[in-house]
C-alpha cells in the first residue's frame, strides 16, 4: 500500500515524485491539489484492446464534445489514437471516439512539420521520448524530433468544442502545419486493411488565416440500425495567429501548391510560415452542424487574442470545480492518484453534442433546438457511473435524460449504445434504468410523459423479425435490437431463447432488471397496475433460467430445454451471471441454500479464480457477502479487488474503462459503499479506504463527511452511524448520502460481527424495497 501520508504533505513532494506530468507553473493555475493528482497516463498501456483501460491522455473539460490527444497511430474500433508503448507522434487529433471498442467520428487532425511537406500519415511521424512528455487534465506537452533536424515543442489545451495548440520550432527547416480533412477509414475491427475512403472538403483562406473543411468519417456506420446520419460530417475551422508564407492542398500524397480548395478522399491542406518563425498558435473549432457553426464555436470558446495559458486555466478551473469537491485524508500517493484520476474518468462521458443551444441529430438528419449528449455506454454505466454522476454532477442529469428522450422521439427508441446514433452494441434496454434511477432520486426536469412512453415501449414492443434474427454482437444490416427475444419467448415464458437469439441468458437477466426499472418508474408516476405487472415479471424471469440441478443460471431453448452453462453470455460466464439478480438478492440466496450456502458459493467463486473484474457483470459481486450475513467477507474481497485491479501505472486498469464504469467502482468503493441495485436508491456498505472523505455535494446544503479513522490499515467495520444514528444493516439510502451530514465508520483490524442477521430478520430486506 505504501506510506500513508496526508494529502497536504503529498502536494509538497509532488514535484519530486509524480510521473512525468508536472506542468510548468503557468499551466498549474488555479491551484488544485486534487487536479494535480490526475494522471491521464493511467490506463494508456498494453498491447491488448481488452486490457489496461483503453484510455488516452487527452485534454478537455468535463463532458467535452471533442478531446484533443497526441496521435501515435491510426485509430479505429479496438485501437485508440494514443498508446503509451509508441515512440512516434503523427499529429494531434480532436477525437470523438468515446471508448476503445467504438468507432471514430468526424475527427480533426493538425500535424506540425518542418522542411518537406509530408501529407501521408506513414511519412510524417516524429520521434519522441516520454521523458519529454507532460500530460495533465488541462495541458499536454511533448518535444518532437523534427524529421529534417531540430525539434518542435508541441503544446495543447482545449475547451469543449475547440482545440488550442502551440508549436514552437527550434532550429528546424521551414515550419508548416498540415490540416487533415479525410483519411482511409477502417471498417470494423478485425481487419485494418478493410477500408473505405470518405469524401471530404477543405478550403484555405489566407486572408483569414484559416483552414476549414468537412470530414464525414463515421466508423460505426456499418452497425447503425437506423442509417439516419446520411448527411453527417464533422466540420472544422483551424485559425492560425501567423500569416501564411505559402500554402496548398494534398490528395493521396500529391501536393498542389497554391491551391485553396479541395474535395475528395485522402485530403489535406498545409500552410507554411516564414523562415525563422519560432511559434505558431492554432485554434481548431469543431462542429457537427456546419463550418459556420465550427467558426462560431471557435469565436465563442477561444476568441482571438486568447493565450494557451488562458485556455488551459479555464479548462483546469472546470476540473478543479468538480474534483475539489471531494477531499480525502489518509491516502497513499498511489491511492490519491488512482482516486482522482478515477473521478476524472467518470466525468468525461457521455459527451456534449449540442452547440449554442442546438444539435444535429443523426436519427433524422435535422438540426434541433436543445441540449444533447452522445457517447452513452449504458450497458456499462448503468451499474455505478450514472449513480456517481447523479451525486457529483447533478446539473447534467436532467439534460442527459432529456437527450435520451430526444433520441427516442427522433429515432423511435431509447439508446442502447449511442455513438452519434445508435449502434446496437451490448444487450438490454438499460436506458430504462437510467431514466428510472433519475426519477427515483428526485430528477423530474424533463418530459415525464415521454419518459414513460419510451421505457414502456422498450418493455412491450419487440424488434423487427424477433423470431428469426439472432441479433449477435455488432450484427450488420438489422433494425434496432432493443429487447431481442421479447415476443418470441420472454414475454410468455420468462426467458430469451438460446436457439433463436445470441447472448440469451444475459438478455434474460438484463431484461428482468430493466422490467424492475420500468416498475420503479411506474410507481413514481402512480401507475399502479403497470408497476405491479412489470415488478412481477422482473422477479419471475431471472429464475426461469436457474437450473436447480446445477445451482447456476443457464441458457434455455425455446422448448424449455437447457442449452448448457457455457451458452448465452455477454462478456461473462455462468459464474458471474448467476449472481446477477441485484434486485432480488434474497431470492437468489434462498435458491443457493440460504445464507450459509450462498456465502460458500461466493467463496468458491472468488477462491476458484472466477471473479473477473475486467468486465462489468462482476462489479457488484464482492458486495453480496454483506447481504448474506457476512459483511466482513465483503470487506476483505473489496480490498483484494481494488489492490489487484487498480494502480497508478500506464497499465493501471485491469479492463476497459468503459466510459467511467471501472473507475466509478473504485471511487464508490473507496467511499465505503456501492449501488448494487442502483434503481433502489440504496447503497450496500463495503469498506472505506481512507481516514476521511469530505464531499461538497452540489445539490446539498451541507457537505457529506465520511470518517473512518484507521481505514487504510483496518479494513473491517465495527460500527456505523449516520448523523449519530446507529446503523444496524449494511445499507445506506440515497437520502443518507445526497442530503449530506456525517457517516462515521468505526474500523477494526480484525473481522467483526457488525450487520449480522439484520437483513434476515429486519422489516426491510434488500431487494424487496417498495419504491
3-state DSSP of 133-177: EEECCCCEEEEEECCCCCEEEEEEEECCCEEEEEEEEECCCCEEE
> What pLDDT shows up at residue 4?
30
Judge whether 64 and 352 are in contact, CB under 8 Å. yes
The strand pairing partners of 176, in sequence order, are 113, 272
Is pLDDT above 80 for 1? no
Average pLDDT value for residue range 461-481: 94
> What pLDDT shows up at residue 766?
52
Of the candidates 337, 339, 321, 343, the residue with the CA atom closest to the CA atom of residue 660: 343
pLDDT in tens, 90-126: 999 999 999 999 999 999 999 999 999 999 999 999 9
Supply the angle between the helices 385-392 and 661-671 in degrees, to the nearest 10. 60
Dihedral, CA of residue 713, residue 716, residue 718 and residue 723, to nearest 10 = 80
pLDDT in tens, 562-586: 999 999 999 999 999 999 999 999 9
Place of cell 489487484: 644
**Phi and psi, residue 747, nearest 5°:** -100, 160
**Phi and psi, residue 666, nearest 5°:** -65, -45
Tell me the DSSP string of 718-771: EEEEETTEE--SSEEEHHHHHT-EEEEEEEESS---TTTTHHHHSS--TT----
Residues 589, 628: Cα–Cα separation, whole Å: 7
Is pLDDT above 90 for 415? yes
Residues 345, 329: Cα–Cα separation, whole Å: 21
Residues 667, 370: Cα–Cα separation, whole Å: 32
Of the candidates 278, 268, 259, the residue with the CA atom closest to the CA atom of residue 205: 259
Judge whether 348 and 65 are in contact, CB under 8 Å. no
> What pLDDT shows up at residue 21?
62
Residues 182, 193: Cα–Cα separation, whole Å: 16
Residues 360, 505: Cα–Cα separation, whole Å: 37
Of the candidates 75, 113, 116, the residue with the CA atom closest to the CA atom of residue 280: 113
Question: Domain 7-323 has what CATH class?
Answer: mainly beta
Separation of CA 475 from chain center = 23
* Residue partners of 207: CB distance under 8 A and separation at least 6: none
Is 657 exposed, middle or buried, given 0-12, 13-18 or 19+ CB atoms closer than 10 A?
A: buried
Cell of 460: 412491450
Cell of 102: 467504438
The confidence band for 721, taking pLDDT boundaries of 50, 70 and 90, is very high
Average pLDDT value for residue range 150-172: 99
Cell of 112: 506540425
Is pLDDT above 90 for 228? no
**Beta strands 741-748 and 704-707, pairing class:** parallel
> What pLDDT shows up at residue 760?
53
Residue 287 parent element (H or E) = strand 279-287
Of the candidates 287, 346, 40, the residue with the CA atom closest to the CA atom of residue 160: 287
> What pLDDT shows up at residue 230?
83
Task: Report the percent of the chain where pLDDT is more than 90.
Answer: 91
Is pLDDT above 80 for 736? yes
Cell of 290: 456546419
Q: Does residue 281 sit in helix, strand or coil?
A: strand
Is pLDDT above 60 for 20? no
Place of cell 464534445: 65
3-state DSSP of 641-702: HHHHHECCCCCCECCCCCCCHHHHHHHHHHHCEECCCHHHCEEEECCCCCCEEEECCCCCCC
Is 528 exposed, middle or buried, given 0-12, 13-18 or 19+ CB atoms closer than 10 A?
A: exposed
Cis before 30 (ω within 30): yes
Average pLDDT value for residue range 658-685: 99
Task: Report the percent of the chain where pLDDT is more than 70.
Answer: 96
* Residue partners of 307: CB distance under 8 A and separation at least 6: none
Q: Return the domain boundaries, the chain.
A: 7-323
10 Å Cβ neighbour count for 739? 16
Is pLDDT above 90 for 452? yes
* Mean pLDDT of the chain, nearest integer: 95
Dihedral, CA of residue 514, residue 613, residue 326 and residue 676, to nearest 10 = 30
- Return left, alpha or beta for 598; rule: phi > 0 is left, psi -120 to 50 is alpha, else beta: alpha
Cell of 441: 432520486
Judge whether 351 and 65 are in contact, CB under 8 Å. yes
Pairs from 483-489 (Cβ < 8 Å, separation ≥ 24)? 483/428, 483/429, 483/458, 483/459, 483/507, 483/511, 483/514, 484/427, 485/511, 486/459, 486/460, 486/461, 486/462, 486/511, 487/462, 488/462, 488/558, 489/558
DSSP state of 710: T
Q: Does residue 589 sit in helix, strand or coil?
A: helix
Average pLDDT value for residue range 639-650: 98
Average pLDDT value for residue range 234-254: 98
Of the candidates 365, 383, 490, the residue with the CA atom closest to the CA atom of residue 426: 383
Dihedral, CA of residue 36, residue 41, residue 43 and residue 46, to nearest 10 = -160
Residue 204 parent element (H or E) = strand 200-205
Is 748 exposed, middle or buried, given 0-12, 13-18 or 19+ CB atoms closer than 10 A?
A: middle
**Phi and psi, residue 133, nearest 5°:** -125, 135
Residues 538, 532: Cα–Cα separation, whole Å: 10
Cell of 58: 487527452
> What pLDDT shows up at residue 332?
96
Is pLDDT above 90 for 8? no
Is pLDDT above 60 for 161? yes
> What pLDDT shows up at residue 15?
32
Could you give the C-alpha distances from 755 to 129, 667, 734, in angstroms and in order?
A: 53, 23, 19
Amino acid at each position: 500500500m505504501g506510506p500513508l501520508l496526508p494529502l497536504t504533505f503529498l502536494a509538497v513532494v509532488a514535484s519530486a515524485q509524480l510521473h512525468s506530468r508536472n506542468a510548468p507553473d503557468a499551466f498549474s493555475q488555479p491551484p488544485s491539489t486534487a487536479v494535480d493528482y490526475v494522471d491521464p497516463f493511467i490506463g494508456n498501456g498494453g498491447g491488448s484492446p481488452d486490457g489496461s483501460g483503453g484510455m488516452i491522455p487527452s485534454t478537455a473539460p468535463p463532458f467535452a464534445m471533442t478531446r484533443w490527444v497526441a496521435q501515435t497511430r491510426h485509430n479505429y474500433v479496438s485501437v485508440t489514437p494514443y498508446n503509451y508503448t509508441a515512440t512516434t507522434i503523427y499529429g494531434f487529433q480532436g477525437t470523438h471516439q468515446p471508448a476503445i471498442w467504438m468507432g471514430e467520428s468526424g475527427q480533426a487532425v493538425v500535424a506540425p512539420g518542418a522542411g518537406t511537406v509530408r501529407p501521408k500519415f506513414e511519412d510524417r511521424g516524429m520521434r519522441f521520448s516520454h521523458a519529454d512528455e507532460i500530460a495533465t487534465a488541462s495541458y499536454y506537452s511533448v518535444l518532437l524530433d523534427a524529421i529534417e533536424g531540430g525539434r518542435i515543442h508541441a503544446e495543447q489545451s482545449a475547451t469543449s468544442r475547440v482545440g488550442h495548440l502551440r508549436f514552437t520550432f527550434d532550429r528546424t527547416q521551414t515550419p508548416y502545419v498540415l490540416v487533415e480533412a479525410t483519411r482511409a477509414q477502417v471498417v470494423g475491427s478485425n481487419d485494418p486493411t478493410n477500408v473505405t475512403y470518405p469524401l471530404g472538403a477543405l478550403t484555405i483562406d489566407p486572408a483569414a488565416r484559416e483552414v476549414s473543411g468537412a470530414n464525414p468519417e463515421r466508423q460505426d456506420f456499418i452497425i447503425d440500425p437506423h442509417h439516419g446520419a446520411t448527411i453527417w460530417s464533422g466540420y472544422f475551422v483551424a485559425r492560425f495567429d501567423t500569416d501564411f508564407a505559402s500554402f496548398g492542398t494534398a490528395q493521396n500524397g500529391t501536393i498542389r501548391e497554391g491551391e485553396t480548395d479541395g474535395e475528395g478522399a485522402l485530403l489535406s491542406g498545409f500552410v507554411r510560415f516564414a523562415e525563422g518563425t519560432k511559434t505558431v498558435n492554432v485554434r481548431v473549432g469543431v462542429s457537427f452542424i456546419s463550418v459556420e457553426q465550427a467558426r462560431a464555436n471557435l469565436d465563442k470558446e477561444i476568441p482571438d487574442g486568447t493565450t494557451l495559458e488562458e485556455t488551459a486555466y479555464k479548462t483546469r478551473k472546470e476540473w478543479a470545480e468538480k474534483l475539489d469537491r471531494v477531499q480525502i485524508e489518509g491516502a497513499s500517493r498511489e491511492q490519491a492518484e488512482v482516486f482522482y484520476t478515477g473521478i476524472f474518468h467518470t466525468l468525461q462521458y457521455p459527451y456534449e453534442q449540442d452547440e449554442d443551444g442546438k444539435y444535429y441529430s443523426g436519427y433524422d438528419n435535422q438540426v434541433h433546438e436543445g441540449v444533447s449528449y452522445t457517447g452513452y455506454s449504458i450497458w456499462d454505466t448503468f451499474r455505478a457511473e450514472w449513480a456517481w454522476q447523479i451525486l457529483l454532477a447533478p446539473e447534467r442529469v436532467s439534460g442527459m435524460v432529456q437527450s435520451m428522450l430526444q433520441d427516442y422521439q427522433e429515432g423511435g427508441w431509447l439508446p442502447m449504445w449511442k455513438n452519434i446514433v445508435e449502434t446496437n452494441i451490448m444487450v438490454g434496454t438499460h436506458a430504462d434504468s437510467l431514466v428510472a434511477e433519475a426519477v427515483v432520486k428526485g430528477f423530474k426536469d424533463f418530459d415525464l410523459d415521454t419518459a414513460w412512453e419510451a421505457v414502456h415501449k422498450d418493455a412491450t414492443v419487440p424488434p423487427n423479425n424477433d423470431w428469426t434474427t439472432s441479433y449477435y454482437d455488432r450484427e450488420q444490416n438489422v433494425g434496432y435490437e432493443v429487447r431481442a427475444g421479447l415476443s418470441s419467448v420472454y414475454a410468455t415464458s420468462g426467458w430469451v431463447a438460446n436457439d433463436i437469439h445470441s447472448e440469451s441468458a444475459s438478455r434474460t437477466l438484463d431484461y428482468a432488471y430493466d422490467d424492475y426499472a420500468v416498475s420503479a418508474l411506474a410507481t413514481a408516476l402512480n401507475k399502479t397496475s403497470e408497476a405491479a405487472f412489470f415488478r412481477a415479471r422482473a422477479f419471475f424471469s431471472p429464475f426461469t433460467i436457474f437450473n436447480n440441478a446445477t445451482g447456476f443460471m443457464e441458457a434455455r431453448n425455446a422448448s424449455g430445454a437447457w442449452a448448457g452453462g457455457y451458452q448465452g453470455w455477454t462478456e461473462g460466464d455462468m459464474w458471474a451471471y448467476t449472481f446477477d439478480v441485484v434486485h432480488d438478492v434474497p431470492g437468489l440466496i434462498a435458491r443457493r441454500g440460504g445464507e450459509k450456502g450462498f456465502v460458500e458459493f461466493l467463496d468458491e467463486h472468488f477462491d476458484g479464480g472466477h471473479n473477473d473484474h475486467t468486465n462489468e457483470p462482476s462489479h457488484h459481486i464482492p458486495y453480496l457477502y454483506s447481504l448474506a450475513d457476512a459483511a466482513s467477507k465483503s470487506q476483505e474481497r473489496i480490498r483484494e479487488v481494488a489492490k489487484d485491479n487498480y494502480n497508478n501505472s500506464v497499465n493501471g486498469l485491469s479492463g476497459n474503462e468503459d466510459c467511467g464504469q471501472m473507475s466509478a467502482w473504485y471511487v464508490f468503493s473507496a467511499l465505503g459503499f456501492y449501488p448494487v441495485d442502483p434503481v433502489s436508491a440504496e447503497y450496500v456498505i463495503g469498506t472505506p479506504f481512507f481516514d476521511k472523505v469530505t464531499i461538497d455535494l452540489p445539490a446539498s446544503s451541507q457537505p457529506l463527511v465520511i470518517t473512518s479513522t484507521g481505514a487504510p490499515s483496518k479494513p473491517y467495520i465495527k460500527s456505523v452511524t449516520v448523523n449519530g444514528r446507529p446503523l444496524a444493516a449494511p445499507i445506506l439510502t440515497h437520502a443518507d448520502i445526497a442530503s449530506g451530514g456525517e457517516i462515521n465508520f468505526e474500523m477494526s483490524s480484525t473481522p467483526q460481527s457488525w450487520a449480522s442477521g439484520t437483513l434476515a430478520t429486519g422489516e426491510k430486506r434488500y431487494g424487496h424495497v417498495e419504491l
